[in-house]
Structure 1
Amino acid sequence: MGLLNVKGVVYKPAEKVNLDPHSDEPYLQANVKAPRMAGFLVKIFVWLLELPIFGAALLYMLKRNNLIYKLISNAELEEAPLYAPLLPLEELKEQEDKLLSPDLSPPERVQQAMDCLPSAASNIANGLKPSFRHWTVKDYFRAYSSGEITPYMVAERLIAAIHEFSSHRLDMAFFISYNREDILRQAKESTFRYERGEPISALDGVPIAVKDEMDCTPYPTTGGTKWLHKLRPCKTDACCVKRLRLCGAMLIGKTNMHELGAGTSGINPHYG
């Protein structure tokens, strides 16, 4: 086996690696040879790999050609193993933790959570005013309560954005399904509640999408497949979705996911 043994690389400790842009540190890059296989070709390849002697030799050649042995299996690390944590263990008091009573309703729980968040005024006073940021629940609630914008206006802009990103020119495949009429109905009801000064909670009118593995009427739950919703029709909301509705959240549709969640590439073979 000595003739077949591949010497692995030696990885230096991170503190000894020169990360300067003009550094002469060598960059180890594997020349991966992994052509796409599908259908009958995959069956032949699996049959070859399962052969008693030839399969093991073929697997060894594949790993060697793709530098698996050199960069991973036989690699050496110069760093000493860490046997004990170096950071002191201290009981830190959590400033934003609250113990909620199980008797609270969903809107009351939302209010308790909102009380833990810093106000927008304090963020601006501390210099936390970036040129761009993601809008939070608190931002929506403030804008709705002040009349600066309404849930119906947000819904119209949101539907236009979803339509644009679902066009053939972009085709981002963010959503598996959405219902324009249902979104506008929720937005109209939320807008009326704010006009009367009676929002259900801070989540009232806030757009929330649901991953396509949870039940949310009136949409089917496909789990990223073409068959799951046929075997298991969606009849009622999942518990978490039901509680969001009780808080007045505007549920805008089902988002894309891997087929049964079995993948990490971000691509669904059926929906994009």
Structure 2
Amino acid sequence: MDFDKEVIAKSKNVPVVVDFWAPWCGPCQFLGPIIEELAGEANGAWELVKVNSDENQHLSAAYGIKGIPAVKMFHKGEVVAEFTGALPKHEIQKWLDQYLPSEEKELLSQIEQKLIAGDENALGELESFIIDYPASDEGRMLMASSIVLQDPSTAREVLLKVVNRNKFFEDIQRIEEMADFLEADISVDSAVGKKLGAAQEAFKNNDPESGISLLIEAVTIDKAFMEELPRRAAVAFFQLIGAQNELTKKYRRRFDMALY
């Protein structure tokens, strides 16, 4: 087969799902008809290409196939998702729903990148996106995480409209944890209370670096204060911004050291 033509080139126009299989493979015989049925139901939204691993060992080696059936999704010439083993139809459909590219996903990704870059218009674009795609829980989650530091009350309201809460359970928890901290009534009579009060103000004034620095100072003074509020807030903040954020890289180790 001409893999470059049938998969790589074609995937630049439409997603291509490749099923690596072999005639002797029992699980492949189970998976094959299911994924073929799904491809037929897709009405051209994606295409299926089946690759006999025995006859195309060079392709199996090139794409790191260690067990079959192995399914890989190609988009714009690259592998964007994959799974190994014979999954039931509903699990494969869930996988397709999660990873198949769409105009909605691409638009939301572009908005997210603008938010990360600090584009002043990005939040307005996100609001418009949610109006245009009212069923997008992903859009609401991005909105809640983007505004929680400055407007925790509105972030909570946005979270209430998320339908598939189980899917976003951990993300919802960290946003609510951050909102709890920002809305907490903290007595500033003590040293740790003063640090936490200042941290609240820093976050609300769009100064997250001062906010996390003050939280770490509060942890150093009394990490058990108000049922470990300083520690819980710092953890929620780091989870909220992600491991690759520059503030995480700069302050996470300092926070870990403050705990011990």
TM over 0.5: no
TM-score bracket, shorter-length normalisation: under 0.3
Q: Which has the higher helix share?
A: 2
Higher relative contact order (CA 8 A, sep 6+): 1
TM-score by length of 1: 0.24
TM-score by length of 2: 0.25
* Larger CA Rg, structure 1 vs 2: 1
